[in-house]
């Protein structure tokens, strides 16, 4: 396009004018803003938000007093509880244990707190259940809140509120004729959203 215009102008004017006009046209062409180069792309994102429930064992505020022994590893989901040494006639070796005799059985008990929290869930409450890992020896019972535990889950409460500590009382009932031995058990707690 410029070449045609320049040829026409140069025909009617002198070469010097033609050269000046050519340089002016080149300068205008070079000075004209160039269109910016662009590119675009899209990234599709997928994220599945899952709800979750957390459960931890805490010391009860009354820890250290009778019936409230301290937990090992309190504030976690893998705590432990030492119930000391006990016998029917001798009581228990730990002052924090609540000890009693019930007919031919003696009862060793201690309470602790369970705290269940939630995230990304519309559930208003949860059910708490527990089970023991193995069948206890004859004439030995593991109980939580007076409920006899077994190797199947036993419901402790049906509608607990999230974020509020629930006090659970663990008791071991031992008949007075059970041979001397170490009683060990693992109790699994299960919180299920309602």
Is the pTM here over 0.85, yes or no? no
For residues 85 and 127, give the distance between their C-alpha atoms in angstroms, rounded to a whole number.
33
Tokens of 170: 């663990």
Tokens of 43: 């990234």
Q: Helices 15-31 and 2-12, interaxial angle, to 10°? A: 160
| Strand intervals (E) in the chain | 52-58, 71-72, 80-81, 86-87, 91-92, 98-102, 105-119, 125-132, 140-144, 147-148, 154-161, 166-175, 187-193
For residues 130 and 150, give the distance between their C-alpha atoms in angstroms, rounded to a whole number.
8
Each of the 194 residues of the chain gets a pLDDT tens digit; together they read: 445 444 544 454 555 555 555 555 555 555 555 678 888 998 988 888 888 999 999 999 999 999 999 999 999 999 999 999 999 999 999 999 999 999 999 999 999 999 999 999 999 999 999 999 999 999 999 999 999 999 999 999 999 999 999 999 999 999 999 999 999 999 999 999 99
Q: Which domains does the chain have, with CATH numbers?
A: 2-31 (no CATH), 52-193 (2.60.40)
């Amino acid at each position: 396009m410029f070449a045609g215009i320049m040829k026409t102008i140069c025909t009617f004017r002198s070469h010097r004018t033609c050269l000046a006009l050519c340089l002016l046209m080149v300068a205008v062409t070079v000075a004209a803003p160039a269109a910016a180069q662009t590119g675009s792309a899209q990234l599709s994102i997928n994220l599945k938000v899952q709800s979750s429930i957390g459960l931890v064992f805490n010391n009860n505020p009354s820890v250290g007093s009778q019936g409230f022994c301290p937990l090992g590893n309190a504030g976690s989901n893998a705590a432990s509880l030492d119930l000391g040494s006990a016998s029917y006639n001798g009581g228990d070796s730990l002052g924090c244990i609540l000890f009693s005799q019930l007919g031919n059985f003696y009862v060793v008990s201690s309470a602790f707190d369970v705290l269940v929290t939630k995230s990304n869930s519309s559930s208003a409450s949860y059910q708490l259940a527990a089970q023991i890992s193995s069948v206890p020896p004859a004439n030995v019972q593991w109980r939580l809140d007076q409920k006899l535990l077994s190797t199947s889950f036993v419901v402790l409460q049906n509608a607990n509120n999230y974020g509020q500590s629930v006090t659970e009382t663990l008791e071991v009932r031992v008949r007075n004729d059970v041979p001397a031995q170490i009683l060990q058990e693992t109790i699994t707690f299960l919180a299920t959203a309602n």
